[in-house]
A = this chain, B = another copy of it.
Amino acid sequence: MKKSALQIARAAYQPKLPVDLSGFVKVVEGEPTQSVADQEEIKALFPNTYGLPELRFEKNPVQTVGKPVNVGVILSGGQAPGGHNVICGLFDGIKKINKSSRLYGFLMGPGGLVDHKYVELTAEVIDEYRNTGGFDIIGSGRTKLEKQEQFDKGLEILKKLDITALVIIGGDDSNTNAAVLAEYYKQIGAGVQVIGCPKTIDGDLKNEVIEASFGFDTATKVYSELIGNIQRDCFSAKKYWHFIKLMGRSASHIALECALQTQPNICIISEEVEAENQTLQDVVNYIADIVARRAANGENFGTVLIPEGLIEFIPAMKNLIGQLNDLLAKNPEVATLSPAEQREWVLSHLTEKNASVYASLPEGVARQLTLDRDPHGNVQVSLIETEKLLSEMVARRLEEMRKEGKYNGKFSALHHFFGYEGRCAAPSNFDADYCYALGYNAAMLINAGVTGYMSSLRNLTAPSVQWLAGGIPITMMFNMERRHGEMKPVIQKALVKLDGKPFQRFAAKRADWAMSTSYVFPGPIQYFGPAEVCDQPTRTLYYEQLDK
């Protein structure tokens, strides 16, 4: 493919490794660890990989030549900026250990391991992908690596290629599965180490020991660029309310981070809506109230950030959707009724509470809830255009308020949804450095002979040369959760903490931002400018570290 001028210039960027990783490293073992909860159950499930110590790497004044190693790498799940740099760092790391080491990439996600689809990643290939966005070097996929026959099938090709270590780059689910795989290969004496790397733009894979997942920094900066541009337009034209939905179904970190960067008039945080047991109408009233108060000041414009997952966090909506799933699965004939008959049927079969929620929805959305089903027969919540749903209900509410004499303005809404726009951007300096170091560090974990570890860098708000490198036993992040009706050991998903500093900061400011129009315009990611422009970590990371 033809390279853009920026790609060519950016290829020359040399990610800055932490000092600890800059030469030969030595391993410092910490105390044995335990899982964050359900210790006995998890210990029983992971007899070979539970309770391992945290590892720290330090600079080793003594030259140590490692043995050559063949390594496999997999990209799992949704794209996140920096994935290529993890692979580049891993490549440079295993070559640093021994020049004869080799790297194989499995194609289109975990399925490539199972189906034996792979490619060797040589220096020539690697050099084409340094500091680029995308996962196209080997592709990614959503196949879940969780069954023993998959593990055994994968082992065949690992043996054939003499691969003794596998690096899985993925989110919480993929890293959960990496730990299960590590345990299994250890148990059967397969002689294959498994190392995980924390990826997800959603920011929901982080905890006490993993400060951030990669991609979040770049993606939120792209979204904030766009939100800032829209806010500047909004403030210039002074005639529209922009409803902006942001990717991230299971947590509102992206919306919160973008709010901290751009200071919109309104940002909804799903975790708060759930904690306060708000209804959809509560959320609508909250927005309509601010619209009306701004209108009273002559300001018929504003911006609203909405997390993609909002609907599923509203307890009343969750209940309604749950009952609809049940009802419609048991009565497939309802699908054949006319829209009006269907509505009547649904209303007469729902509980009183759910029926009243259903009746309060705009007709188009209510219909969508009974029409679009996924292959398992479930309502496809992700197809609901929450940003339009909210603006439509706000418009309705404002008309009520107008009749009550509480509103006298104009309300004209525009809608945006940002997700795919940011997942494959070229990584920011932070993500370029972080990812490269994660990959390089994974090579050091391989050299240390361990398995079931996640590559870890800490102290991330400091310049990258001061980051602390090491490994965290993945089982340390586990607890037991019900998934598809079964209790399973999984990495806890990190939701927005309402008592954490990032949310607290937002909560302290939002009343002011709602009324005073305090927009910030961050502009696009810069790769070449002054450090204060190019090297800032996210506000979320900054405030979280203040907590420590």
Tell me if A136 is interfacial: C-beta within 8 Å of chain B.
yes
User: Are A134's CB and B421's CB within 8 A?
Assistant: no
Residues from chain B with a CB closer than 8 A to the CB of A467 are none
A274–B133 Cα distance when bound, in Å, is 38
Tell me if A443 is interfacial: C-beta within 8 Å of chain B.
no
Question: Quick check: which of A161-169, A175-183, A231-239 contacts chain B, the rest being far away?
Answer: A231-239
Tell me if A286 is interfacial: C-beta within 8 Å of chain B.
no
Question: Quick check: which of A36-44, A119-127, A490-498, A529-537 contacts chain B, the rest being far away?
Answer: A529-537
A529 touches which of B9, B132, B238, B517 (Cβ 8 Å): B9
User: Are B236's CB and A139's CB within 8 A?
Assistant: yes
Residues from chain B with a CB closer than 8 A to the CB of A32 are none
A523–B533 Cα distance when bound, in Å, is 17
Q: In the complex, which residue of chain B has the Cβ closest to the Cβ of A12?
A: B530
Residues from chain B with a CB closer than 8 A to the CB of A133 are 229, 232, 521
User: Are A532's CB and B5's CB within 8 A?
Assistant: yes
A233 touches which of B232, B424, B517 (Cβ 8 Å): B424
**Distance to closest chain B CB from A223 (angstroms):** 10
Q: In the complex, which residue of chain B has the Cβ closest to the Cβ of A422?
A: B229
User: Are A522's CB and B233's CB within 8 A?
Assistant: no
Tell me if A108 is interfacial: C-beta within 8 Å of chain B.
yes
User: Are B426's CB and A233's CB within 8 A?
Assistant: no
Tell me if A395 is interfacial: C-beta within 8 Å of chain B.
no
Residues from chain B with a CB closer than 8 A to the CB of A422 are 229
User: Are B533's CB and A6's CB within 8 A?
Assistant: yes
User: Are A423's CB and B229's CB within 8 A?
Assistant: yes
Tell me if A230 is interfacial: C-beta within 8 Å of chain B.
yes
Residues from chain B with a CB closer than 8 A to the CB of A414 are 420
Tell me if A526 is interfacial: C-beta within 8 Å of chain B.
yes
Tell me if A199 is interfacial: C-beta within 8 Å of chain B.
no
**Per-residue CB proximity of A1-45 to B under 8 Å, as 1/0?**
111111101100000000000000000000000000000000000
A232 touches which of B108, B136, B222, B236 (Cβ 8 Å): B136
A420–B422 Cα distance when bound, in Å, is 17
Residues from chain B with a CB closer than 8 A to the CB of A439 are none
A532–B232 Cα distance when bound, in Å, is 28
Q: In the complex, which residue of chain B has the Cβ closest to the Cβ of A530?
A: B9
Tell me if A437 is interfacial: C-beta within 8 Å of chain B.
no
User: Are A4's CB and B229's CB within 8 A?
Assistant: no
User: Are B530's CB and A528's CB within 8 A?
Assistant: yes
Given contacts A7-B523, A132-B232, A140-B236, 16 further A-B contacts (CB under 8 A): A2-B518, A4-B521, A6-B526, A6-B533, A9-B530, A136-B235, A222-B229, A222-B524, A225-B524, A229-B423, A230-B424, A233-B424, A526-B527, A526-B528, A527-B529, A528-B528
